[in-house]
Every structure is written in C-alpha cells, then in structure tokens.
A and B are shown apart, each in its own frame.
Chain A
Amino acid sequence: MLGAFSVGKTSLVSRFVHSLFSEKYHTTIGVKVDKKQVVVNGEDAALMIWDIYGEDDIQEVRMNYVRGAAGYLLVADGTRSDTLDVARQIRNRVVRDIGDIPFVLLINKSDLTEEWEFSDETLEALKAEGWLTVLTSAKTGEGVEKGFSLLADAIIE
C-alpha cells in the first residue's frame, strides 16, 4: 500500500481484511503486515499486505519496504488532487529502483462526492496511459474487493 499520508491505505486494508472502518485517523509509522486468503483463477492464494506509512513533504517512502513485493496498490485521495502527484512520484521511484512490477491505482474516499476533486478527464488520461484505476471507498466498501483482486490477477499473470 503506497501513497500520500491520510489517503486511506490503512482503512482500505482494514476494510478488505477485517471488514471494519473507523473515522478516526491513526497515522501509520513504518509498516504493518497483514494477511488475507483469496481465490485467484480458482486457486487459493495468500496475499501478504504491507501497509506502509504515507509520504509527506518531509519523508519519502523508503524503497526497502517495497523490495520483494510482487505488486502494489497506489492509493490517492479523491478529495485531494495533489495526492495523485505523490502517487506518480512514488511510482517513478519504484520503477527506477525496483522495476516495473504490477500495480493498480485506487482513488479512495469515493463516498465524499461533495469534495471530489478528480475530473473525468483526469481519469480518462490515466486509462489512456494504461493505468488500471478503481474508485474505492473504505467507508462503504465500494470497489475495495475489486481493487485488490485486480492486483492479484495482474500479479498472477
């Protein structure tokens, strides 16, 4: 799970693994590892999920955490358009230091339609670049299963 701070990485994992959501914000320090059994192409597989601290203007995500990953979810916050820039920068560093491993972009907090900052054109442009993009809400659960399973599929391929 990679992305800017407070975009909802921990909440997405918590929704996906434990079916829970909390409005309260507890920032992540370092990394927390979670596990979930999934079925990919009819076969059982374990997803080891590394929830990593969010990036802010002072600290970048250390690539030590990403090494060894089979793929990653880039998370942006639909109510903060600058979090997409952060996601792009992180992706560039992953490509440079680790390689072009599979990823899916989750644009989270889709329940907050009033504060939404992403235009349809932005989404179209991402698609045109070949980015797999899913709108998610850790709060309502929308798109969460889909996001994780898209990544699992991309990894298996």
Chain B
Amino acid sequence: MELPEPIGEHLKSLFVRSQFPAYLFVSHDGVLLEWGGGCDRYGLTPLESGVLASDQIDFLEGMLPLEEGWFQLPRLLVHDFRVVDVHFVPGEEGDWVVLLDTTEAANRETVAQQQANDLALLKLDHLKMLAQLRAHNENMRAVLNQLRLTTAVIAEDGGVLFLSRSGLDLLHADKANVEGSNWREVFRFSDADAEQFAQLLEVPRASRERLRLELKMATGRMRSFDIDIQSDPRDPAQRIAYFYDISDLLDLRNKLHEKARFQDMVGKSHPMRQVFQIIEEVARVDATVLVEGETGTGKELVARAIHYSSPRQAGPFIVVNCAGLADSLINSQLFGHKKGSFTDAVTDQKGVFEAAHGGTILLDEIGDIPMNTQTRILRALEQREIVRVGETQPRKVDIRILAATNKNLETEVKQGNFRLDLLYRIRIARVTLPPLRERREDVPLLVEAFAHDICVEYGLEIPHVERDVLSALIAYRWPGNVRELRNAVEFALIRCKEAKLRLVDLPPELTAAGNVGGSASSTDSDKERILSALKASKGRRAAAAKLLGISRATLYRRMKACCLGDDVL
C-alpha cells in the first residue's frame, strides 16, 4: 500500500525535540506513519507503519479524527501499570501527532488516592455499623467505648453526660471533669463552629445535616471532624454526637491536590514554599512570566505548573528549546511560513505560536534567541498577533508566553545581546528558582521522592538509605542541581545490590574527598568532573551530560568554557 504524504516535517521535528517521551504520527485517514520515543516502554510496540493505528493501539479506536483540534486525555493506563497523559495535536492537512507524556506525580497519586478511598470506605462502614447498633438498641455506651470513634451524649441543658474513651484520649480530658460540664467547655470549637454545633443540637431530626467542623486539641493543633447528631433512642431530649476524625483524609486530599498543582516539584524549604506561592499567584493572571534559575533547577516544571493551574489548562502546553533551534530556521519554526518563502519551504506551515493557540508556550533558554526573532516575539506579545515568514497579513493568536533562562538577562542587555524592551515585557512577573545548595534541607525529601519513583519504574524494592549516604548527598554542591541529584539517585539505586544504599553506590564525584563539603567550584574541578564523566561514558556526550545532570547544550557550553575541544576523548 502506498503511504500517504508524511506529516509536516517541521512540526514533527518540533515535537520530537520537545519533552514528550513518546510520539506517534497518524495520517488524516488513521494510518500510522511513524513513531518513536518511549513507545516500547509503554508496551505499544510492535507497531507497523502503513497500517491503521487503531488496529494496533486500543485507545486510539474511535478517537481520530477529532473535531476540535488539540485534545488532552489525562492519566491513561497503558500496559497495565504505566500512567501517561495523552495529547492529540492536529498536524498539517488533517494529520495527527499523538504525544504520550509521563509525569512522576501520577505514581504517587495512585498511592494517595487509594488511601483516600480506603479511608472513605472505612468511614462509611463505621457509620453504617452505628446505625445498625442504634436500630437494635444495643448498649450504646459500651459499644461506643470499643470503637475508635469519639462520641458524646449531651443533655438538653448542654451538659455532657458521657464522652467515649477515645474522646477523652483525644482531648486529653478527665472523665470526672468532663461529665457534667457544658459541651462548650469540653469541645473547643471556634465561635462560628460552636454556633453551628449548637444549632445542630436543637433542630428537629429531619433537617439535621452532617457538619464539618474543626476542634482544637490539647496540643493546640486543629483537627477536622465530620459530626453527626442523633437523638438518644432512650431519651429523645438527649443527643448523641458522633465525631468522625477526617484530618488524615483531608491531609491526604491536600497532598493530592498539591501534587497535581505543583507537578513533580518537591520541597518544604522556605525558598521553595515561596516559589509555590508565586506560582499560585501568577497562574491566575495571564501575564508573561520569566522563570530564572541555574541549569537543572526545574524551570520547565514551574512553567508546567503555571500552565496546568491556569485557566488555559485545557489548551496546549508547548516547550520550545530556543538554544536548540538553528538561527536560520527559528522564525519559521516559531511563526510559520508561506510556501516558497525560502528554499525548503515547500508547503505553507504553521508555527509553534499558532499551534499553541488557546494554550501556553514556554520559550526555554530565551537568552539564546537572535535579535530579529526577539523583535518578532515582542510584537507577538504586544499586538497578540504574528506574521508568518513570507506573509504580510498578521494572524491573531491567543497564547500565554512563559520564558525561562539560566543567564542573567540584564548582563545580556548590557552586552547588546538582548532587547531591553523585551526583557521588561517578559519580566512582568518572575519566579526565581533557588539552586539546590541553597535549600539543602530539601535533599532528604527529594531523595525519598526520586527513590520511590525510580523504584516503581524499575520494579525495585526501595532500599534503606544509610545515614552517611544522606549526609554525603546533603553536603555535595550539586552544580547540576535537582536534575543531577535525580541522576545520582538513579545511578546509586541501579548499582545497589542490597536492601541498604551505601556510600560506595554513589557516583564517584560525590565521594571524592575534594568535593564533599566543597564550596564554589573552580573551572579546574569542573574540567575534571567533565573529563571523568566523559571517560565513564566512553566519550558519549549525551551519556556524560546525563551523568553530570546537565543538558547536552550545557555540557558543550561548559566544555568550551574549560577549553575542552570537541576532539577530547
């Protein structure tokens, strides 16, 4: 069978370069043209091009073509254990790009959601059991004392006649002090909550609703309770109140919610909490945001978090690595071009700015963009329109731009490499990510999160991390920041052969005497690190970059800075 025309080369190259780990190209009539990335890891292979895609991949059945363009299918379970987010992106002339994107948050989400559901079911069981006991007129007090549930019997005048054992424990109260006291003295609600509770005691049974209130514990901590009030079957003037402690449940829920909101970012340190707060604030407005931070600090995650908590979350999120784009092609890639406007422009092409309509673009490494492209971006920001290369008629685009850089753009402006007006324009809001060495207290948390994710991914038992290992990880300088830490943990877990993670499992640069606790890195030690990484990876640049926890582009830049030529190794 003859293959249909391939999808626009140019759009394709764009996605292949982006962060999505697996992709499929499907023709307008549903035939699989090409695939790549992590398709085998997701159990989608073997695949055959030239055959209907939906015959080979179940979840595609009935999906394409879609009427409305870009479409997101979050959290699809493929291959029985891997959860991916799927994006259907319209390509050129009715073709489709299907992108599969994994977020590590999904694994953790599974665990938390399971716990939350189990707890909710347990709670239902409890309530049911109580209802049955009541119906059978059992000796309620004896039963209530057995349950790990706080219950109280309250007289018509508000005096507490009985408080179950777990209630006494919870409030650190004494039976003798409690019984006979007014409930307002026993239960330390806020004023507003106390009023609600009082009303609940009074209203006739039918209109009683379950309340969610907070109680102050003896420790001063607040805990949340669902409270149910029933009439005492033996004395209808008395009330029985059931306090169901849902604090753990709510905690779990909040964690889940945060996970989703802040993607895979982990951190409890002061600087990171500030970052989370800013993300939350800027997500609500449609302003341009500049994300600054050293290499490996997670700038893309910040951008993702902003997009996915913004009103644009249902639209596309496209990452463009500006450092990777050739100067001669960058305008056409960003803004599209008209057929014939330059040698390779054989068809009309849409650029990223149009492809991201309704969504968000992250211009990563914006400091590397040539001047004339800067001018075009400025225009896109100011006029909300773009002009394709070779055209004159502007086209409206509705996008939000986020920019990221590890350069100091003010210096770039001074050196004449960056437009000051563009800097002002993209810096309306800014998020500055601290380097890992300035938030060392987050290292244990990060290690735990990474170890969990990596072990789930490789199907390993999570080993115990020895104290000296953790100390070494905390003390190290982490020039490649969180990315380097993740790679170091991965390296160690794969080497680790026992139930304990030991110092010897760590990558050599972490335990080399000079590095532990070392301060500012000199070019010399940089050079050594790069050389040893290149040696370890037998000269393969990509592998060496991974070992160092930096991108390939950064590796080349550093090699240049250390006067290491391309011919080294």
Instruction: List chain A positions with a Cβ less than 8 A from chain B.
Output: 5-6, 25-35, 46, 48, 53-54, 56, 58, 62, 64-65, 67-68, 70, 80, 115
Query: Which A residues are CB-close (under 8 A) to B257?
Result: 58
Query: Which B residues are CB-close (under 8 A) to A25?
Result: 114, 117-118, 121
The residue in chain A whose Cβ has the minimal distance to the Cβ of B54 is: A48
Query: Which B residues are CB-close (under 8 A) to A34?
Result: 58
Q: B85 to chain A: closest CB distance in Å?
A: 8
Instruction: Please state if B121 and A30 are interface contacts (CB–CB under 8 Å).
Output: no
Given contacts A29-B77, A68-B66, 8 further A-B contacts (CB under 8 A): A27-B113, A27-B114, A27-B117, A32-B76, A46-B61, A48-B62, A67-B71, A115-B128
Q: Which of B75, B76, B109, B110 contacts A33 (CB 8 A)?
A: B76
B542 within 8 A of A: no
Q: How long is the Cα–Cα vector from A54 to B113 in the complex, in angstroms? A: 11
The residue in chain B whose Cβ has the minimal distance to the Cβ of A69 is: B62
With A5-B120, A27-B114, A33-B59 as contacts: A58 and B77 at CB distance below 8 Å: no
Complex interface residues of chain B between 176 and 220 (CB less than 8 A to chain A): none
B446 within 8 A of A: no
Instruction: Please state if B116 and A56 are interface contacts (CB–CB under 8 Å).
Output: yes
Convert B40-58 into 0s and 1s, putting 1 for each residue whose CB lies closer than 8 angstroms to a CB of A.
0000000000000000001
Q: How long is the Cα–Cα vector from A34 to B77 in the complex, in angstroms? A: 11
Instruction: Please state if B77 and A30 are interface contacts (CB–CB under 8 Å).
Output: yes
Instruction: Please state if B117 and A31 are interface contacts (CB–CB under 8 Å).
Output: no
Give the bracket for the number of chain B residues in contact with chain A: 20 to 34
B473 within 8 A of A: no
The residue in chain B whose Cβ has the minimal distance to the Cβ of A54 is: B117
B494 within 8 A of A: no
Instruction: Please state if B113 and A29 are interface contacts (CB–CB under 8 Å).
Output: yes
Query: Which A residues are CB-close (under 8 A) to B58?
Result: 33-35, 48
Q: How long is the Cα–Cα vector from A70 to B61 in the complex, in angstroms? A: 12
Q: Main SS of chain A's interface residues? A: loop
Q: A24 to chain B: closest CB distance in Å?
A: 11
The residue in chain B whose Cβ has the minimal distance to the Cβ of A68 is: B62
Q: How long is the Cα–Cα vector from A46 to B62 in the complex, in angstroms? A: 11
Instruction: Please state if A26 and B114 are interface contacts (CB–CB under 8 Å).
Output: yes
Q: How long is the Cα–Cα vector from A56 to B83 in the complex, in angstroms? A: 20
Instruction: Please state if B120 and A56 are interface contacts (CB–CB under 8 Å).
Output: yes
Convert B111-146 into 0s and 1s, putting 1 for each residue whose CB lies closer than 8 angstroms to a CB of A.
001101110110010001000000000000000000
Q: How long is the Cα–Cα vector from A46 to B75 in the complex, in angstroms? A: 24
Q: A53 to chain B: closest CB distance in Å?
A: 8
- Identify the 8 closest CB pairs spanning chains A and B, nearest first: A30-B75, A32-B77, A33-B59, A48-B61, A33-B58, A27-B117, A27-B114, A29-B110
B311 within 8 A of A: no
Q: How long is the Cα–Cα vector from A46 to B117 in the complex, in angstroms? A: 32
Q: How long is the Cα–Cα vector from A25 to B75 in the complex, in angstroms? A: 19
Instruction: List chain B positions with a Cβ less than 8 A from chain A.
Output: 58-59, 61-63, 66, 71-77, 83, 106, 109-110, 113-114, 116-118, 120-121, 124, 128, 253, 256-257
Q: How long is the Cα–Cα vector from A132 to B74 in the complex, in angstroms? A: 30
Q: B226 to chain A: closest CB distance in Å?
A: 11
Query: Which B residues are CB-close (under 8 A) to A28?
Result: 77
Q: How long is the Cα–Cα vector from A80 to B62 in the complex, in angstroms? A: 34
Q: B461 to chain A: closest CB distance in Å?
A: 20
Q: How long is the Cα–Cα vector from A58 to B62 in the complex, in angstroms? A: 30
Q: A16 to chain B: closest CB distance in Å?
A: 15
Instruction: Please state if A58 and B117 are interface contacts (CB–CB under 8 Å).
Output: no
With A6-B117, A25-B118 as contacts: A31 and B73 at CB distance below 8 Å: yes
Q: How long is the Cα–Cα vector from A54 to B71 in the complex, in angstroms? A: 22
Q: How long is the Cα–Cα vector from A3 to B128 in the complex, in angstroms? A: 21
Instruction: Please state if B73 and A64 are interface contacts (CB–CB under 8 Å).
Output: yes
Q: How long is the Cα–Cα vector from A80 to B120 in the complex, in angstroms? A: 12
- CB<8 Å pairs between A and B, sample of 6: A27-B117, A29-B83, A29-B106, A29-B109, A56-B120, A58-B256
Query: Which A residues are CB-close (under 8 A) to B106?
Result: 29-30
Instruction: Please state if A62 and B74 are interface contacts (CB–CB under 8 Å).
Output: yes
Q: How long is the Cα–Cα vector from A72 to B117 in the complex, in angstroms? A: 23
Q: How long is the Cα–Cα vector from A139 to B61 in the complex, in angstroms? A: 29
Instruction: Please state if B117 and A30 are interface contacts (CB–CB under 8 Å).
Output: no
Interface centre among A26, A28, A35 (most CB of B within 10 A): A28
Query: Which B residues are CB-close (under 8 A) to A58?
Result: 116, 253, 256-257
Q: How long is the Cα–Cα vector from A64 to B120 in the complex, in angstroms? A: 26
Q: A146 to chain B: closest CB distance in Å?
A: 24
Q: A90 to chain B: closest CB distance in Å?
A: 17
Q: Which of B62, B66, B73, B253 contacts A65 (CB 8 A)?
A: B73
Query: Which A residues are CB-close (under 8 A) to B124?
Result: 80
Query: Which A residues are CB-close (under 8 A) to B62?
Result: 48, 68, 70
Q: How long is the Cα–Cα vector from A80 to B117 in the complex, in angstroms? A: 14
Query: Which A residues are CB-close (under 8 A) to B116?
Result: 56, 58
Instruction: Please state if A64 and B76 are interface contacts (CB–CB under 8 Å).
Output: no
Q: How long is the Cα–Cα vector from A100 to B39 in the complex, in angstroms? A: 36
Q: A8 to chain B: closest CB distance in Å?
A: 12
Q: How long is the Cα–Cα vector from A5 to B116 in the complex, in angstroms? A: 11
Query: Which B residues are CB-close (under 8 A) to A46?
Result: 61
With A26-B114, A64-B72, A68-B62 as contacts: A31 and B121 at CB distance below 8 Å: no
Q: How long is the Cα–Cα vector from A62 to B74 in the complex, in angstroms? A: 9
Query: Which B residues are CB-close (under 8 A) to A53?
Result: 75, 113
Q: How long is the Cα–Cα vector from A5 to B117 in the complex, in angstroms? A: 7
The residue in chain B whose Cβ has the minimal distance to the Cβ of A28 is: B77
